[in-house]
Every structure is written in C-alpha cells, then in structure tokens.
Chains A and B, each alone.
Chain A
Amino acid sequence: MRLALDGDQVAYKTLLAALVPHVRGRVRHVLARSGRGQAEVEDIVQETLLAVHLKRATWDWSMPLTPWLNAVTRHKTIDLLRRVGARGEVDLDDAVETLAAPDDGGESQLDVQRMLSVLDGRQRQIVEQVSLAGRSAAEVGGQLGMSEGAVRVALHRALKQLARTFKGRADAD
C-alpha cells in the first residue's frame, strides 16, 4: 500500500485487486446480517473502491490498513442500507438469486452507459478510453489532442463527479 501510494501504478493495481475479495466479503456479510438482498453488492464494492481511491490520504501510514478499509466499507454499505431502508424494500428474489448465482467476476448492476451519462462528453470519452480500451493517459491525450496532464486532471474530475453522483442518489432517495 505504501509503495502504491508513492505512485507505483503496478503496486496500486495489485493492491486494489487484492482488496476486492475482502471488501466484497464484508459487504455480503453486513447485507446478510441486516436481512438485505445481495443484488447491490457489486455497486457497493465499486463505491467503496472509489472512496478508497479518493480518500486514500486519510489512511495513516503508521497504522494497519484493515481497520481503515473496514471503516470505509462499512460507511458505504450503511449508506446503501439507509437508501434502500428509506424505500422499505427487501427483495427476496435478489437474495435467492444471489445464493444460486455463481461468481460473475464482478459485474455491477449499474449499466455502464447510465453511470457514465452523468459525465460530460470529454470526461466520458476519457473514462471510456482508459477503462474499456485500457489506454494510458498519454495515448488518450494524443488521440484527443490534450496533454497527458490535462487528461489526468479530467480523469480525476470525472471520478469525483461519479462519487458525487453516487452520493446524489443517496440524498435523493
């Protein structure tokens, strides 16, 4: 984690990938304990990853990572429970479905297009290029006629916008 936060992208990717099963396990556990369906597990996992990324400066390097990660996961899970709780919705079908369903490799319920639709054209292009096509910031910059730095800034703004959108859904419900 320390290496990753120093800016080592390979280490960071390995770290995030390693966190996913842990986070997913915690989310499932909390949802199951509160009698909720498991349909939104992957949404919460992704919201948690986004929060881990944007709030990574709040982890104290001298402390173990797990309590911090669990607190972020718990916060995001409770956020969703509050949302769903407000609607008073317990979907038994979801629970049954999840019990029966094999691990789908982490496909979120959120439709890509719907999620990205909150971004403006340029931001959306950048996220699509980086995420779906797996291009580097420099490549995307060359293609769109932007500097690598500008692409990074735009990407960062796009991520914050996504986080705000997640949040907005919570507030609206």
Chain B
Amino acid sequence: MRVAAMMAAMCAATVLAAPAGRAAERSVDPLGSPRWADMERSLLSGEAYVFDPRVKVEAPDLAENPMHVPVTVDATALPDVKEVVVFADFNPILEILRFHPDATSAYLGFRVKLQQSSPLRAAARTADGVWHVGGTLVNTAGGGCTAPSIGSTSTEWQKRLNEVTARSWNDGPMSGRVRLRIIHPMDTGLIAGIPAFHLEALTLRDEAGTPLMRLEISQPVSENPVFTLYRGKRDGVLQAAGRDNNGNTFDVRIAP
C-alpha cells in the first residue's frame, strides 16, 4: 500500500515537473479566491509553493452545520511531508491548525467552524521546503466562528475539561487508525464577553516517548475536537498529551 502510494507520488511528481518551471502557471489559484495573495503572504510567509492536486482536502460542498464542518486532509501522495497547515481564506481567524507528521501518515481528519462560505485549504511542506497547496470550496450559511460554544452556555464541561476518549483500530480496513476526542469549548474570542479559550497543542508519542505527530491547534477547530489519524502499524500504547491556552494540560495513554 505504502509502496503503491509512493510510486503514484513519484509518477505525479514527474508529470508536474514540466509546468512547475513556469511560475505564472503555478501561481494561478485553482479556487479563484481574491484572498489568495494574502493567504500566501500570511500563511506561507511568501515561501515557494505550488498548487498540487496530490494534497487532497475533503469537505462537503454544502455544509449543513457551520459549527462542525468535517475536513479530511490527505497529503499521503506526497513524499516526506514535514508540516501541514490548514486554513480558510474567509474565516476571521485564518489558521485552523498545523500538524507535523513526524512518524505518521500526512493524514488528519477533524471538524472546523466556518464564518462564511470559503475555500478550505491545506498546504503541505516537503523536505525541499516547497509548500504543496490543495483545497476545496465549502458553501455554508455561516456564523460558525461568532456563535457561542455549547460549553460557554453551561458549566457541565468544566468538570470534564480536557477529558480524552479515544479508540484505535488494529485490523480490517481501518487498521492503524486512531480517533480521539477531547472535551474543550474551543471559544474563538470573537464573541463579546467570552474570551478565547482553546486547545493549542497536542502531541502523540509511541511507548518510548518518540513523537509520532505534533499538532498546533487554533480557535477555528470545532468544540470538543475529534481527530482521525493513522499511527501506522506500530503496536503498543500511544501517548497523547496536550494543553490549552490557559495552561490546562492532559496526558493519557491509549491502549491498542
């Protein structure tokens, strides 16, 4: 499976090599967003990039609930991904999250709050320093970033803040998949009287403490985040540790 993916990636890279030389062609945003120049400057710091269909961003064309828009980022067709940043051009807070797949696949599923219809993009930085940008358009009624969290209107969550539930799948078609959910209101700070209060870091390590994936999480990730990722075929306990912007921490072990 991995070999096949790598071969596919190599083939795709060969095909892309010719047009990649022409700068003008590269910089035309396939999603036609008037915000792209700003995105490039603020999210990619003006570094080299290429629009690349090998970075797949899956999300519904029409998202029913702007508070919970499902996003799946799959950059596994690219070799040696160091970092992936996910962002939405028309959100008041652009960056959604950033992940470093140190020893996992460059794959992450989660849910996001959208303030209005927007391109939803992922840029994957490969070892050569080039950002590969993929994305999709999501239509939504909006308001996702300026609606209060369920958590902010009740006190129930306080007792369970940073509580983690998780499960791993070890055989069958989902082999190697891990899903984890963390209880957190993920308040954006854009509502009067409700300060920003959100998870900002999550690291997954193997039993020996070696990092498998590091996540930097921003406000637009949905309340009570659920992450889906692949840990690969490694056996053994998985460690998940993290903290929010108020210094509350968690550190748990997920049995295989």
The answer to whether A and B interact is: no
